[in-house]
Structure 1
Amino acid sequence: MNSNVQLNFRKEQIGLGKRKKAVARVFLIPGDGNLIINKTYGEKYLQYNTTYLDLIWAPLEKLNLSKQFDIIAIVKGGGLTGQAEAIQLGVARLLCKIKKENRSVLKPFGFLTRDSRIKERKKYGLRKARKAPQYSKR
C-alpha cells in the first residue's frame, strides 16, 4: 500500500457513517476496487471476514460500480461489525452526494438508514443497564 498518499479531500467528498460507537469517514476515488481502512488493506483489517467485506461493497454492487472505485476509510471507535456498517453508510451517503439519482436505488435496500441503536447506559442499583441483582425472599 502506498502510505504517502495525502488525503486532502474537500468536505463535499467525505461520506460520514456512524454505527454504535464507530465513526467512519469515507472517501471514494476512481480505481479498480481496492479497500483501504486506516492505512491497511481492508481484507486484513477486517480479518478476511467475507460478511464484513460484502457489507461494505453492497451499495456499489447495487449500482454496478464495484470495480470502478477504491474505498478509503478512516474509522474510529467500536468493534469490527460497527465499523463495517459505518463504512457502508458512509459509502452510500457519498454515492448519493456524487449523483442524486443513486438515492432512489439505494433507499429501498436500507443503505441510507442510520441504525440509531446504541448501548444503553448502566443504572445505579443494577448490574448492567437492566440486569438486577437476584431477588431473595428469605
Structure 2
Amino acid sequence: MNTKLETVFQKENIGLGKRKQAIARVFLIPGEGNLIVNKLPGEKYFQYNANYLNTIWAPLKKLNLETQFDIVVNVKGGGLTGQCSAIQLGTARLLCQRDNTNRSILKPFGFLTRDARIKERKKYGLRKARKAPQYSKR
C-alpha cells in the first residue's frame, strides 16, 4: 500500500456513524465515485436497492462531490437500513471534519443528526417490550 492511501486509513480520517445496532467506519478516498462496503461493491452489498444507495450518496450530492470521492466502509451490526443510515452519518461527519464550511450546508438537511431511537428493552411478565399475554377473565 502506498503512503498516500495509508494516511487516508488513519484514525483521524474516520467518520463514525451509528444507527440502532449498526456501526459504520467511513473513509473517503479521492476517486471517481465508487462505494465499497466490507470489501464488496456497494451496489451488490445493498442488493441494488436505489433507496439505500441514494441515502448513502445524499451528503456528497448536496455538496456536488459525488464524482470526486470513493467511499470505503467497514460496517457491523444491525440490518441494511440501519447500516445505510450509519454510513450516511459517518460520511457527513467526515466531510465536516475535512472542511468546516460543509457543516452549514449539511446541517439543515439533517445529515449530522444521529437518530437516537433504539429498540426498547423487554420487560418481565411481558412477551416483548410492551406486548402483554392475552387477558382471560374466566
Q: Which runs of 5+ in 1 are unaligned?
A: none
1:6 Cα offset (Å): 6.8
Find the counterpart in structure 1 of residue 46 from structure 2.
46
Query: Equivalent residue of 2:73, what SS?
Result: strand
Q: How many Å separate the matches in 2 of 1:97 and 1:6?
A: 18
1:102 Cα offset (Å): 0.2
What is the TM-score normalised by the length of structure 1? Answer: 0.94
**Residue type matched to 1:38 in 2?**
N
RMSD: 1.3
Q: How many Å separate the matches in 2 of 1:8 and 1:117?
A: 31
* 1:72-117 deviations in Å (ceiling 9; x for gaps): 0000000000000000000000000000000000000000000000
1:19 Cα offset (Å): 0.2
Find the counterpart in structure 1 of residue 12 from structure 2.
12
Query: Equivalent residue of 1:17, what SS?
Result: strand
Find the counterpart in structure 2 of residue 26 from structure 1.
26
1:68 aligns with 2:68: yes
Find the counterpart in structure 2 of residue 77 from structure 1.
77
What is the TM-score normalised by the length of structure 2? Answer: 0.94
Query: Equivalent residue of 1:115, what SS?
Result: coil
1:35 Cα offset (Å): 0.1
Residues 17/105 of structure 1: CA separation in 2 closer, same or farther (3 Å cut): same
Structure 1 ranges of 4+ moved more than 2 A: 5-8
Contact residue 16 and residue 24 of structure 2 kept, 8 A:
yes
Residues 93/39 of structure 1: CA separation in 2 closer, same or farther (3 Å cut): same
1:59 Cα offset (Å): 0.1
Q: How many Å separate the matches in 2 of 1:95 and 1:6?
A: 19
Query: Equivalent residue of 1:78, what SS?
Result: coil
Find the counterpart in structure 2 of residue 127 from structure 1.
127
Contact residue 22 and residue 82 of structure 2 kept, 8 A:
yes
Q: Identity of paired residues, percent? A: 75
Contact residue 89 and residue 113 of structure 1 kept, 8 A:
yes
Q: How many Å separate the matches in 2 of 1:6 and 1:105?
A: 29
Q: How many Å separate the matches in 2 of 1:61 and 1:88?
A: 12
Query: Equivalent residue of 1:28, what SS?
Result: strand
Find the counterpart in structure 2 of residue 35 from structure 1.
35
